[in-house]
Chains A and B, each alone.
Chain A
């Protein structure tokens, strides 16, 4: 592991900068990415290095600039589109859902769409309901797109570098709550392949699977449960499409119990999809049905205590694990 420790946001920046140095077809556009240095400082300093032709400030016009970037990708360029928040991508639903993931299919293989949409996803900053979307619930439903959701700085760099090099549209979900997190990140080229989950903590009694920021809630819960003598295996999915079912199934066949933790709403979500697939693949191995922990099925509240309860927090995860293991 690299000795160097940098922030999550720096890891994202490093992936973009390295790929932009490597390939002139790569450029970054979005609101405040250039002169402002990025609303969350992810792109700090990139304007100085690459200039305004490749680090492009756009007006607040998501439908327009997302669609424009898709047109550019059809011509063979490789745009990185920053949504200040994925919540704002909803006004660009037609281009990002109806154009980008379908272009290759509708053109019979003629026009692909090598594009990355990235930005903050998820609740936790008391932003209220409109700014707290976890879009993985809705958007992972669509075939033709890939979806990556890093939980640690090294994956932030490795997954984003892979996303930029990918020939298909990638929805890259970051968490504003993690941007200041520090971790060991390799210098130089670092690519994390899509579709490879990682066992973050080995264990024997129960498999906990999660994506993105809630992986940290799972690790917190696992630490608590360890004190009660419950050994949890925590899997970081890293990408939702493709989904690494093999790693999940191998773990569940070992532990015979499974809890899925997903920050999107429960109805038609990555969590429900993983649960369905685990039930199908591990029917005879499971000692209990798969338990799911999601954000509460309500609009995201503002009040701090309500928002903390709304999230799939460590307490709710621990309760689900005890329930899965029939521990009162």
Chain B
């Protein structure tokens, strides 16, 4: 077990004063609180929109895991690639995607980040270096190795310098049992690829608890060690713990051009997807975790540290509710894709019935704002 883990364990619960726990500035802490509240509110409204049948298909809610996406994203640089699985709204928002593009994508509208062609499970944001949103369990893990391979190749082979990047590859504990994940880790270990496999270990792959599907369930970093990859364990319900732990790991991977595997213990407060009655776990277990809410934790610590008061928190909450409301209005006002969009983006060049490509608004807006 690493030093990082020991620090995280000791500090978990946030009982020590903030200044002792983190070098983060009050502005950074305030930003993380804002991001977690944004993800929470966004997901609440996503569930409503799903129930109103404004969102179709499969839809996986991130509530409960906010500290993971926010803390991990804060620990790397904007130019570092991120790739994740299908429970991806939180990562998109934490990476900086405006909620309107994310909501419009789920509404199947042209204003969506992928012009309504990807849906809830496939959020892509090129301006913010988010490489998806991938729907097949574990499929993103070789891609994550490849993103890390590419930044290393560009830094070292093309530019002739040393490695400057690190890739975050998120996966759920369910993906631990996919063969692709082992191949991705073996290659990362073999080729010294700067990629961090961040396991968002919420204890369940759909309805199967981790001990029913995974060997070494109490110490999953053993799987990375088998590939020569350093393992770390972090508590995932406190964004400061996640940030501090991940910052040290990411800095190390970047400097040494090596992979890492991180087991972050978290919990999804909602079901696997919108259609999950959650019969496989007890109400008591859910309540136990709900008392450990990552937003409450940071809010209380910031109040204790005099960085925000109750009124300030309420005002922030109101502001975010307004922002998410606006994103829904924007998504609803965005037209459905023109039927010609059926035949764009299949191939880069135009031929036969295929119309070439056209960029979504998320890209053209970013270029205008540059």
Contacts and interface: CB of A to CB of B under 8 A. Distances in A.
Contact of B145 (A27, A54, A67, A111): A67
Contact of A71 (B116, B118, B149, B347): B149
A76 B151 CA distance: 10
A76 B150 contact: yes
Contacts of B147: 71-72, 74-75
B180 A106 contact: no
Interface residues of B, number: 58
B74 interface: no
Interface stretch (B21-29, B243-251, B352-360): B352-360
A188 to B, nearest CB: 25
Contacts of B151: 75
Contacts of A94: 136, 139, 180
Contacts of A38: none
A107 B118 contact: yes
B142 interface: yes
Contacts of A167: 348-349
A64 B345 contact: no
B86 to A, nearest CB: 12
A75 B81 contact: yes
A216 B352 CA distance: 29
B175 interface: no
A59 B190 contact: yes
B186 A59 contact: yes
A110 B183 contact: no
A22 B104 CA distance: 42
A108 B146 contact: no
Interface string B103-131: 00000000011111110001011100001
Given A99-B143, A167-B349, A64 B150 contact: no
Contacts of A99: 134, 139, 143
B346 interface: yes
A144 B117 CA distance: 14
Contacts of A61: 183, 186-187
Contacts, number: 165
B141 interface: yes
A70 B83 CA distance: 13
B132 A107 contact: yes
A91 to B, nearest CB: 8
Contacts of A247: none
B179 A144 contact: no
A112 interface: yes
Given A104-B346, A108-B113, A68 B187 contact: yes
B348 A105 contact: no
A71 B144 contact: yes
Nearest to B134: A99
A105 B126 contact: no
A143 B349 CA distance: 14
Contacts of B153: 27, 53, 72, 77
A68 B136 contact: no
Contact of A108 (B81, B117, B154, B156): B117
Nearest to A95: B142
**Central interface residue in A25, A108, A111, by most chain B CB within 10 Å:** A108
A130 B346 CA distance: 31
A58 B144 CA distance: 17
**Central interface residue in A27, A110, A242, by most chain B CB within 10 Å:** A110
Contacts of B346: 104-105, 143-144
Contacts of A217: none
Given A105-B346, A168-B347, A111 B124 contact: yes
Given A24-B157, A108-B113, A71 B124 contact: no
A110 B364 CA distance: 11
A69 B146 contact: yes
Contacts of A74: 131, 143, 146-147, 150
Interface in A163-219: 167-168, 195
B168 to A, nearest CB: 13
Contacts of B239: none
A65 interface: yes
A304 interface: no
Closest 6 CB pairs of A and B: A71-B146, A67-B142, A64-B183, A108-B114, A75-B150, A107-B124
Given A61-B183, A68-B149, A195-B351, 11 more contacts: A24-B158, A53-B153, A68-B146, A70-B146, A71-B83, A77-B154, A104-B348, A108-B116, A108-B117, A111-B124, A242-B352
Interface of A: 24-25, 27, 53-54, 56, 58-59, 61, 63-77, 94-95, 98-99, 103-112, 143-144, 146, 167-168, 195, 242
21 contacts: A24-B158, A25-B158, A54-B157, A59-B186, A63-B180, A64-B145, A67-B142, A68-B146, A69-B146, A71-B142, A71-B146, A72-B146, A72-B147, A104-B348, A106-B133, A107-B122, A107-B124, A108-B112, A108-B117, A110-B125, A144-B346
